[in-house]
Amino acid sequence: MQTPFRTRLGRVARCLMLSTLAASPALAQTPPQTLHVYGPGGPATAMKECAAAFTKQTGTPVDVTAGPEPQWLSQAQQDADLVYGGAEYMLTQTALAHPGLVDEASRTSLYARESAVLVRPGNPLHIKRLEDLTRPGVRLLDVNGAGQMGMTEDMARTPALIANLQHNTRTSVKTSAEAVALWQQQPQGYDAWITYASWQPRLPGSALVRLPRASACTGARPSPSPSAPPRRPPPGSSWPF
């Protein structure tokens, strides 16, 4: 049985926090300042769990702001301590579009996110593999961006399957936030959504179909990178985050 994405990422981050904390005894003597973390909504659950664990261990508050980049970019340019991405290319795009926002030398890959298919409760169409999504009448939701750029093509691999999946795609949107809104507001309009498995816990009532290993795509990784230039902690102390 696989451990949920957010739990595994949380364990990794907690281990990193604990190992760094030992080298920063001055933290206990300095009033904590809030750390500001920004990134997309997909990994938000895991990042908030990590933030809570970090605060519990250090007493330092952490504020995680998650969502489409335009919603938080302006504020992040003023006070970001950490920026994370939902996929490698997302963080690269952010860095290229906004020079100086992140410290590329500090970039760290934490976890390969598992792709899967979200379906309606009880999986009424009995979806078990990608080919099932090409049956007549199946209505697909697609995100063409937000860490999912080209995901369907990477998973399908063959021209015929790619074309058939595209034929059944009712709507393509640019962000996961748009997809979540459509998925929740139009339950009769969409039968399945090829996305990351980490979205399922945030969408109560949705069922998750894990695909055979040959079809699963795990190339995208949440990649945190401290902002650059970072804000300096109080003299004589440091932030182990």
- Phi, psi torsion values for 115, nearest 5 degrees: -85, 155
- Residue 48 burial (10 A CB sphere; 0-12, 13-18, 19+): middle
* pLDDT tens digits, 153-180: 878 888 999 899 999 999 999 888 899 9
**Domain residue ranges of the chain, discontinuous segments joined by +:** 5-111+222-226, 115-209
* pLDDT tens digits, 18-69: 333 333 344 445 667 999 999 988 788 889 999 999 999 999 999 999 988 9
What is the dotted CATH code of the domain comprising 115-209? 3.40.190.10
pLDDT over 70 (residue 16): no
pLDDT over 80 (residue 217): no
d(Cα 11, Cα 42) in Å, to the nearest integer? Answer: 18
Sign, CA dihedral 187-191-194-198, equals positive
d(Cα 156, Cα 165) in Å, to the nearest integer? Answer: 8
Query: What is the model's pTM?
Result: 0.57
What is the dotted CATH code of the domain comprising 5-111+222-226? 3.40.190.10
Enumerate residues 6+ apart whose C-beta is below 8 A from 78: none
Q: How many CA atoms lie within 13 A of 109 on its CB side?
A: 12
Q: Do the domains 115-209 and 5-111+222-226 match in fold?
A: yes
